Structures are given as C-alpha cells and as structure tokens.
Structure 1
Amino acid sequence: MEKAKGYVKSQWIIIVMGDFDANVGDERVEDVVGHSGIGTVNDRGSEFTITNTWYQNHPRRLWTWMSPRDRNRNKIDYILIQKRFRNAVKISKSLPGADGDSDHIPVVF
C-alpha cells in the first residue's frame, strides 16, 4: 500500500474494490467499519472506510459470498474509500441474484 501511495496525488480520491476474503465484523470500529458487517473483526487496520458496512440494507443484501449448497453466507467483498472522502458515498450494497452462476454477489455504490 505504501508504494501505491507514491503514485497518487493527495487530492485524488482512491477507491479500492475487491474480493478481500476478509471478515470485518458487525460492530463499529472507529470510522473504518460500520455496524452492518458480518462475522468477527480481525486485527488488521486501515486508513480507509469500508463503505458497504455503513449502510443498513435488506438482509438478502448483507452477504456477498455463498458456500456450495448455500450452507453459509458471508460478506467478504468490499468497497473502500479514504476516510476523509467517506461522506461522498451515499449508498453501498450488494446485488443478490445479479449473476446466478457465481458464488459471489456484486457490490455497488
């Protein structure tokens, strides 16, 4: 991450989206994780806000991954934005059923 910071200007808005295969928990952690996550938080920190943990959505929009035969569901795909720009995001949610052949559900904001 430090190397990547050297390539961007301080006024640029950085948005990171992806399949991080990480659990961030369902309890607020300062201004990084909101109350709408799933699972238990691990001990990694960040200077980013995880946008799709800050907005309360319908229960079917909470998870982004489903295990084979639908035994488990979890939120492991995230959209991150620098903390200082988090107020620019108005909504962030997953889109269930967007790709019926995949175990992952797209996340949008």
Structure 2
Amino acid sequence: MVNDSYEVLERTFDLLPKNCIKVTVGDFNAQIGKEAPFRPTIGHGSLHNTSNDNGMKLIDFSMAKNLIISSTYFPRKNIHKQTWTSPDGKTKSQIDHVVIDKRYQTCIKNFRTYSCADGDSDHYLVFAKFVLTLSINWRNKKQFNKAVKLDGDK
C-alpha cells in the first residue's frame, strides 16, 4: 500500500514540468530522524532521533527527486513539532511533513503545528509560511543614448 502511494507520487512528479515549484504536504506516517548521512535532505529539527520504515521511504524519495523535508529544518519546542497524538494521549509523533524542491528551500520561512485547532481529528494543524520572491531581469531594460556626436557639434 505504501509502495503504491510512492509510485503514484513519483509518476506525478515525473509528469510535472521542470520549472514548476513542487511542494508536497501530507500525512506520510513517516517519522524522520536526525541521522547525519541524510543531512542535506533532512534538518536538525526533527522530533524523532531515528527514522521508521515510512520515514526512510520519504527520505529516499526526497533524495531521488532533489527535495528537502522542510518540516525538519526549524528548531521548535517539541510541542510545536508534534503533528499527531494517539487516542490515549500518551504517544505523540511528527508524521505530517512538508516536502519542497531543494532549489526553493529558502521559500519556507516557518513551520510549526497548532494543537488548539477545532476539529475532530487526532492530527494537529500544520502551518508552513511560504514566501516566493520574484525578480525582474533588468539587464535588457537599460536604455542607451544612441545619438552620434559629430566633431562639429558642441
């Protein structure tokens, strides 16, 4: 079931044009750890120390597609990293993630969760602040004085 989901996700990513900004947000049931070998793809701000099987699948997918798991990049209190609580309230986990193109990782300015959201769910509200700055190519906009000055002109 999980492998099928990643196959569909991979096919969808392959169909997207290269110039699209790819952002994926979802409940991956993936606990992402703080393993050093995966450091370019994951950050220091994960709730968990080691990744589970689903976490490894998400890391492998992210590495293959040149993505980062931006929900692990922001240092927060553990209460603001938790995205899920068990029905008995004893187990808390970070299993919902925001994944983005590595090229656009600086566009994610903030990530945290809110447990006070109204709703009948065991998941917390996930908040990610995304800021995209567009620039104009000024190189071709410069105007030059094309008038030719002759020797007799003053």
Task: Tell me the TM-score normalized by structure 2.
Answer: 0.64
Structure of higher RCO (CA pairs closer than 8 Å, 6+ residues apart): 1
Unaligned 5+ segments in structure 1 are none
Aligned to 1:7: 15
Q: Distance in 2 between matches of 1:62 and 1:6?
A: 30
- The runs of at least 4 consecutive aligned structure 1 residues that moved more than 4 Å come to none
Unaligned 5+ segments in structure 2 are 1-8, 129-154
Deviations 1:33-71 (A, max 9, x none): 111112212433123211111001233111000011211
Aligned length, in residue pairs:
109
The alignment status of 1:87 with 2:106, answered yes or no, reads yes
Q: Distance in 2 between matches of 1:26 and 1:100?
A: 31
Contact 1:33 1:49 in 2 (8 A): yes
Task: Tell me the TM-score normalized by structure 1.
Answer: 0.87
The CA RMSD over aligned residues, in Å, is 1.7
**Worse overlay, 97-106 or 63-72:** 97-106
Q: Is the radius of gyration larger for structure 1 or structure 2?
A: 2
